Amino acid sequence: MIAEGIVVMRMIKWENGLVLTPDQTLLPLEEVTLKLCSVEQMAEAIKTLRVRGAPLLGAAAAFGVALSAYYSKAQTLSELLSDLEEAGTTIKMQRPTAVNLFWATDRVLNMARAYKGDVEGLRAAVILEAKQIADEDAAQNYAIGKNGAVLINDGDTILTHCNAGELATVEYGTALGVIRAAWGQGKKIKVLADETRPLLQGARLTTYELQRDGIPVTLITDNMAGYVMSKGLINKVIVGADRIVQDAVFNKIGTYSLAVLAHEHNIPFYVAAPKSTFDLTCKAENVTIEERKPCEVTHVGCQQTAPNGVNVMNPAFDATPLKYVTGIITETGIYTKDHFQKFNKTFPL
């Protein structure tokens, strides 16, 4: 059940050959819906973070392949399959870290490869598969919220990083889904949102979502996390994830520092993510961390804040070793430290 005051919206949908999704680069000041009609447009939206957040990237990837199916001029099954493979390659090239992008693309392509029927049947089947991925993600988020809400106490103040909310998923959110569910149970909680340099997903998106729902939220800069923990101002940290491997959780740059700080201050550190974010075939050392453009660091918006020509690092994600993670909240339950030891190619639960 969704609590009164909580606004729930579909972040991505298929409408007569168009994929509709908010342009997240314009939020919170402008609410503009993108109407994407080609895999190239979807690829651009993914690359530029108009569409972002691991679970939403999964659905976006699937809809990108669906756009290619819908507009393909293929006359035969093998021609259509070749167009779909090309679309999948285009989508996968856009961002390397969030595994959901690869998982969803492969799920649609594997279905297409095994398809027995005619061209029109495959077109329809690809679109249906993308819609199913989106529906499943929405349902998983509600389950994550329900499972995670038991960890939240009345009166808690929760720190979150980046945006793991509705905007990062098909509906409801992962880390913010847990917060929404706890709020819906009547728990009087507060949230501190890290601004999340350099692209400010926390400042722009997390505060926007929580304000809209009437959940008390206070914006802090990333370098205030140690201060708020040392002052006893927070009881829990909850973040999302882009990829969970055998030995680490990948999430927005800065998550690792938060986890170490939380450990030092004995503050529980939770990760909320659907199982489509797990990639238990690999270890942290095998994951490519996206390196983004220097101008995201040398500028705040359009304003240059660093001297011309300065050297810049801009990794978009970092890896938090599982030893710092108190629990991973999924749609089927909560994985604790005891389960982590068994994270070896299969789920422990």
State whether the Cα torsion 175-177-178-184 is positive or negative: positive
Strand order in the sheet with 18-22: 13-15, 18-22, 33-36
Site string for ligand MRU, 150-169 (x = CB under 6 A): ------------x-x---xx
Helices 99-114, 54-71: axis angle to 10 degrees equals 30
**Residue from 151, 241, 284, 329 binding ligand MRU (CB under 6 A):** 241
Catalytic residue among 137, 242, 279, 318: 242
**Residue from 43, 252, 330, 331 binding ligand MRU (CB under 6 A):** 252
The DSSP symbol for 343 reads: -
Does the annotation count 156 as an active-site position?
Answer: no
Establish if 146 lies at the interface with ligand MRU (CB under 6 A): no
Looking at residue 193, its amino acid is A
Q: Site residues for ligand MRU, window 40-59 (CB under 6 A)?
A: 49, 52-55
Q: What are phi and psi of 18, to 5 degrees?
A: -120, 145
**Residue from 68, 105, 246, 251 binding ligand MRU (CB under 6 A):** 251
Q: How many CA atoms lie within 13 A of 258 on its CB side?
A: 36
112 vs 253, which CB is nearer to ligand MRU? 253
Site string for ligand MRU, 5-44 (x = CB under 6 A): ----------------------------------------
- Alpha-carbon span 277 to 299, nearest angstrom: 31
Site string for ligand MRU, 93-122 (x = CB under 6 A): -----x------------------------
What's the min distance (Å) between Cβ of 37 and ligand MRU? 23
Establish if 61 lies at the interface with ligand MRU (CB under 6 A): no
- Alpha-carbon span 304 to 268, nearest angstrom: 37
Looking at residue 63, its amino acid is F
168 vs 220, which CB is nearer to ligand MRU? 168
Determine which helix (DSSP H) or strand (DSSP E) holds 237, and give its type and residue range.
strand 236-239
What's the min distance (Å) between Cβ of 161 and ligand MRU? 7
**Residue from 21, 68, 90, 174 binding ligand MRU (CB under 6 A):** 174
What's the min distance (Å) between Cβ of 21 and ligand MRU? 13
In DSSP terms, 308 is beta-bridged to: none
Helices 39-47, 77-92: axis angle to 10 degrees equals 10
What's the min distance (Å) between Cβ of 251 and ligand MRU? 5
Establish if 242 lies at the interface with ligand MRU (CB under 6 A): yes
Q: What are phi and psi of 313, to 5 degrees?
A: -110, 140
What's the min distance (Å) between Cβ of 214 and ligand MRU? 21
State whether the Cα torsion 280-318-286-109 is positive or negative: positive
Residue with tokens 């740059």: 253
Cβ contacts of 142 within 8 Å, gap of 6 or more = 171, 172, 177, 181
The catalytic residue positions are: 242
Which spans of this chain sit near ligand MRU (rule: CB under 6 A)? 49, 52-55, 98, 162, 164, 168-169, 174, 201, 240-242, 251-252, 316
